[in-house]
Amino acid sequence: MDLDFQISKREKLSDQLYGQLLEKIVSGELKEGYKLPSENEISRAFNVSRPVIREALLRLQADGLVYSRQGAGSFVKARPPESLIKFTSPSDISGLLRCFEARLPLEGAAAALAAQRATEEEVETIRKTLVAMEEAMEKGEIADKADFDFHMAIANATGNEFYVSILGTLHTAMRSGMRVALNITKAGSKQRMRKVQEEHRTIYDAISLGDVTAADLAMRYHIQSARTRLMNHQRDI
């Protein structure tokens, strides 16, 4: 069994191909409804093997950017906001989305445990990180540190050190994802900024009231919404 927990070469190549196809979708070269080049064409154009192409296409599908129709090929489904590739390298996007994917069940469960077990002191720490984040956003700053602190304060309040270690493992990727998301939020409307703040406040409220179901839902809804804001340019919400 491989205990070298690194991304494999195939994954790296497919992330690069993913990034290149993503750029074409974002730029509008491949418009919504357009058919993607066939595996043969991609293979010739990018000089990559079939498994790499399949992995890139599957990820584009999993990320909601393309869909496939039996026997007819793959088609563009949605066009992410241009700001998506303004704030990060296109070949990093797929990795950022995988980080959101892993955080969803993990942090949902952490918020539920925090709602059950947080001491008054721990609730107060969560509140302080929330206020720090709100204040930084009001000043127009990219509040990725305060954002991470908020999520880590919740992990701490689970009373389960493994949640804290795991967030430590995800620290770099989480901060990158938060930076991109917060940059897109900043580039958007005031209403969008309020929505992001509202999502964090709803999580805090549920934890402070000890509402386990609401805390779990609010956290997972927030992570899912952050992911949607990254990938969907149609609505500024």
| Ramachandran angles phi, psi of 75, nearest 5° | -130, 150
Q: Is 131 in the site for its own copies (CB under 8 A)?
A: no
Q: Is 162 in the site for its own copies (CB under 8 A)?
A: yes
Nearer of residues 22 and 66 to its own copies, judged by Cβ: 66
The residue within the footprint of its own copies, chosen from 203, 214, 226, 230 (CB under 8 A), is 214
The residue within the footprint of its own copies, chosen from 164, 175, 186, 233 (CB under 8 A), is 164
Nearer of residues 71 and 140 to its own copies, judged by Cβ: 71
* Type of residue found at 104: L
Q: Is 129 in the site for its own copies (CB under 8 A)?
A: yes
User: Minimum distance between the CB of residue 186 and its own copies, rounded to whole angstroms?
Assistant: 20
Q: Is 198 in the site for its own copies (CB under 8 A)?
A: yes
Binding mask 26-65 for its own copies (x = CB under 8 A): -----------------------------x--xx--x-x-
Contacts with its own copies, residue ranges (CB under 8 A): 1-3, 5-7, 11, 55, 58-59, 62, 64, 67-68, 70-71, 77-78, 95, 98-99, 101-102, 104-106, 108-109, 113, 117, 129, 148-149, 152-153, 156, 159-171, 173, 198, 205, 209-211, 213-214, 217-218, 220-221, 224, 228, 235, 237
